[in-house]
Amino acid sequence: MSGNTQAGLVLGQEIGAEELAPAPVRRRAYGFSAGKWLLPVYCTLALAFLLVPIVYTIVFSFNDSVKTNIAWRGFTLDNWLNVCSEPGVCEAFGNSLLIGVTSTTIATVLGTMIALALVRYRFRFRAATNLLLFLPMATPEVVIGAGLAAQFLSAGIAKGLGTIIVAHAMFCLSFVVVTVKARVASLDPALEDAGRDLYGSSSQVFWRITFPLLLPGILAAALLSFSLSFDDFIITYFNSGSVNTFPTFIYTAATRGIPAEANVIASAVFLLAIAIVLIGQLSAQARRKRLAR
Amino acid sequence: MARGLFAESGADLELVGVRKEFPGFTAVEQLDLTIAAGTFFALLGPSGCGKTTTLRLVAGLEEPTAGRILIGGADVTDTKPFRRPVNTVFQSYALFPHMSVLENVAFGLRRRGIGDPLGKAHTALQLVELDHLAERKPAQLSGGQQQRVALARAVVNRPALLLLDEPLGALDLKLRRQMQLELKNIQTEVGLTFVHVTHDQEEAMTMADTVAVMNKGRIEQIGAPEELYELPRTSFVANFLGQSNLFAGEVVESGDATIGVQAAGRRILVPTERAQRRSGSVTVGVRPEKLLLLTEEPAATAGINVLGPGRVTDVSFSGVSTQYLVEVPGVGTIIVFAQNLVFGPVVERGAEVWVSWRVEHGFGLSDAPVSSIAQAHEALVGGAEA
Ligand SMILES: Nc1ncnc2c1ncn2[C@@H]1O[C@H](COP(=O)(O)OP(=O)(O)O)[C@@H](O)[C@H]1O
Ligand SMILES: [Mg+2]
């Protein structure tokens, strides 16, 4: 009986406290009104800071430039329509694409196999392999670039597309292994057992079960790898010889003035990437909706 | 090609001296076992006793360290899993998440190049009453539905041998009972050999023609459920399969019909043919429902064992029966199940009672006594083999 009364009292106090509460809470909200504005302003500034160079690049891809593309001289579509008229721009871009695709393919295939081996099997030097794969990520790029250049030199290999591809495949490999490894680790080994139990030979089990289930991870790794390769300047610069990639071309051109055609390609790559992300998001959303039905 | 092995009926399974060692751990000590074609065989044992490992050995997903495995008389020890006429319903179901239910079920048929895989898959899904969900992905099904898909995916291949690894473990009690009946029906319908692994003794006894009780990588006893229950040969079986009252004592008389065991100042008689050991110190036992609770000391009667007096320490009502715990000095706690033929308990807590049972209901074990509690404790802490 007394317990009940007590509970009632406590309850009453709580209700009372709640009724009293709104006033100080509201005052507190007023007191922090600066905070209410600070965050949006800060966010807007941060976004602007991030976006200004991109917007600048896109806007100046429409600049009717003559020698340099620094001052605004008027709107034109010429740069977009004749991208390849400026010598070197398209060649550098093509090289970057070729290097990106080739090194990504090499790194993704090798990296996926290494990731499978590292997760699934216990072998000698497994820990050492893990460590070695981590090294390229931890080492400064300048060191890798210079080191590779020295190796190519002492091995007497002429610098060119081949050396760039080898260098890129090397540092992309680490990122692929790390990405795919996480996916392999989350793959239930019972699924492959079930595949073998259901009359699947080793290759059938791999292609029909393991591979499709790893595919999202492999694709993510390939995209990461491609963007790393496409972006890379430091390692490429050390090992490119006379070959220009898009980043090295722009670096060299910057001393004279970057041609507007470079802005076109940069803008196009940016817009394409955004489009791919958007399409991916929208189709995922559509799929979710379909499943929810 | 092994296709000739895929029979329309079950095949028998024979394990000869099978042993499986993992680095630093022996999961299966020694298995010698023959399972007749077309039977529903249950492998019963506590968690970690090696049941899953045994199934994986039969399926070919693990290689035995020693011993041979024969299916339908053919030695398959060195045969790859995808060439064995065996299918497994995995403990975790292992449905392929990227395929529809229908494609999951058709997977095995497609791999073997069997005609009309989708039609046959639909038929198998009808068998488990899930055909209407054929286009769904496994993640969109409930646990019970996934379990049935896993069953359909295995049964559709008409394997000579179907291995089921605790397939009902994740289901709630009601669904489990229902699936037990369905499984049994399907087995009778398709006539395949089922090897069903479970740690649920009730499940094993209701479903199986033959039950093997496994403990620490060994089979303790094999037999029909009634036989295992009525005549357990080891204390592990006596306690794992239902409950038992076990008494340790010395054999003091050994006749053709009965042996007499001196325990707690009383002589307990056990039929000679129901005793595994007939001399020295032995353990004898009796099931709790075979005991009769008496409030007065009975007159000595031939063919009846009596213990007492003791005191009732606990009475718990469980619907059909009431469980009494009786503390008998020098013997320990005796469990008695009494049918609730009248309303309310027959005796109250603290009452002085005697327990009696017919001599032919007793059994004699082949090993030293282990109480239920000690056994449970050992299972928990993983105690060493005595
Ligand atoms: N691949 C493995 N490596 C090492 N030990 C294992 C492996 N698989 C199972 N075991 C051990 O073997 C014992 C039996 O396992 P299991 O057959 O899965 O038991 P159950 O299915 O009866 O619960 C367990 O103690 C388990 O830890
Ligand atoms: Mg298991």
- Residue A236 and residue A271 in one domain: no
Whether the CB-CB separation of B104 and B59 falls below 8 Å is answered with: no
Using one digit for the tens of pLDDT, what is the confidence trace for B86-102? 999 998 899 999 999 99
Give the per-residue pLDDT at B381.
53
Nearest neighbour of A209 by CB, restricted to B59, B83, B96: B96
For residues A34 and B276, the model is more confident at: B276
The per-residue b/e assignment along A169-196, b for 16 or more CB within 10 angstroms, e otherwise, is bbbbbbbbbbbbbebbeebeebbbbbbb
Percent of chain A with pLDDT over 70: 88
Ligand closest to Cα of B166 equals 2
Using one digit for the tens of pLDDT, what is the confidence trace for A146-169? 999 999 999 999 999 999 999 999
In a domain, B122, yes or no: yes
Using one digit for the tens of pLDDT, what is the confidence trace for A42-98? 999 999 999 999 999 999 989 888 777 888 888 888 888 888 888 888 899 999 999
The mean pLDDT value for B183-207 works out to: 88
Residue B310 has pLDDT above 60, yes or no: yes
Give the per-residue pLDDT at B2.
39
In a domain, A34, yes or no: no
The mean pLDDT value for B163-168 works out to: 91
- Residue A264 and residue A139 in one domain: no
Residue B267 pairs in a beta bridge with B262
Residue B25 CB–ligand 1 contact under 6 Å: yes
- Residue B77 and residue B135 in one domain: yes
In a domain, B263, yes or no: yes
Q: Cβ–Cβ of A197/B59 closer than 8 Å? A: yes
Q: Report the gap between the CA of B154 and the closest CA in chain A (Å).
A: 8
Give the per-residue pLDDT at B237.
93
CA B303 to chain centre: 32
- Residue A116 and residue A166 in one domain: yes
In the three-class reduction of DSSP (H, G, I as helix; E, B as strand; rest coil), residue B283 is classed as: strand
Q: Report the gap between the CA of A210 and the closest CA in chain B (Å).
A: 10
Give the per-residue pLDDT at B370.
52
Q: Last residue of a domain, which of B200, B227, B254? A: B227
What is the total count of domains within chain B? 2
Give the per-residue pLDDT at A25.
47
In a domain, A163, yes or no: yes
- Residue B146 and residue B45 in one domain: yes
In a domain, B139, yes or no: yes
Mutation probe of ligand 1 site: the residue of B52, B201, B214 with most atoms within 8 A of C-beta: B52
Give the per-residue pLDDT at B385.
39
Give the per-residue pLDDT at B374.
54
Using one digit for the tens of pLDDT, what is the confidence trace for A246-276? 999 989 888 887 888 888 988 999 999 899 8
Whether the CB-CB separation of B200 and B183 falls below 8 Å is answered with: no
Residue A14 has pLDDT above 70, yes or no: no
Q: Last residue of a domain, which of B171, B203, B227? A: B227
In a domain, A94, yes or no: yes
CATH of the domain at A195: 1.10.3720.10
The per-residue b/e assignment along B80-92, b for 16 or more CB within 10 angstroms, e otherwise, is ebbebbbbbbbbb
Percent of chain B with pLDDT over 90: 58
Which structural domain, as residue segments, surrounds residue A241? Answer: 1-15+87-245
- Residue A138 and residue A265 in one domain: no
Residue B318 has pLDDT above 60, yes or no: yes
Give the per-residue pLDDT at A37.
86
In a domain, A105, yes or no: yes
- Residue B272 and residue B186 in one domain: no
Mutation probe of ligand 1 site: the residue of B43, B52, B53, B165 with most atoms within 8 A of C-beta: B53
In a domain, A165, yes or no: yes
What is the total count of domains within chain A? 2
- Residue B62 and residue B200 in one domain: yes
Using one digit for the tens of pLDDT, what is the confidence trace for A93-142? 999 999 999 999 999 999 999 999 999 888 889 999 999 999 989 999 99
- Residue A160 and residue A285 in one domain: no
For residues B360 and B190, the model is more confident at: B360
The per-residue b/e assignment along B282-303, b for 16 or more CB within 10 angstroms, e otherwise, is bbbbbbbbbbebeeeeeeeeee
The mean pLDDT value for B183-200 works out to: 88
The mean pLDDT value for B110-126 works out to: 93
- Residue B223 and residue B338 in one domain: no
* Cis, bond preceding B271 (omega within 30 deg of 0): no
- Which residues does chain A have within 8 Å of residue B98's beta carbon, measured at their own beta carbons? 212-213
Q: Cβ–Cβ of A291/B98 closer than 8 Å? A: no
CATH of the domain at B147: 3.40.50.300
Over chain A, what is the mean pLDDT? Answer: 86
**Which residues 32-91 of B have a C-beta within 8 angstroms of A?**
56, 59-61, 80-83, 86-88, 90-91
Residue B53 CB–ligand 1 contact under 6 Å: yes
Give me the interface pTM, i.e. the ipTM: 0.81
Give the per-residue pLDDT at A182.
93
Give the per-residue pLDDT at A84.
84
The mean pLDDT value for A23-40 works out to: 64
What does residue B123 show for φ and ψ, rounded to 5 degrees? -60, -45
Whether the CB-CB separation of B88 and B75 falls below 8 Å is answered with: no
Give the per-residue pLDDT at A8.
37
- Residue B265 and residue B201 in one domain: no
Using one digit for the tens of pLDDT, what is the confidence trace for B9-54? 678 899 999 999 999 899 999 899 999 998 999 999 999 999 999 9
Q: Report the gap between the CA of A120 and the closest CA in chain B (Å).
A: 15
Return the minimum-mean-pLDDT range out of B113-122, B271-280, B338-347, B359-368.
B338-347
* Four-CA torsion A271, A273, A278, A284, nearest 10 degrees: 160
Which structural domain, as residue segments, surrounds residue B29? Answer: 13-227
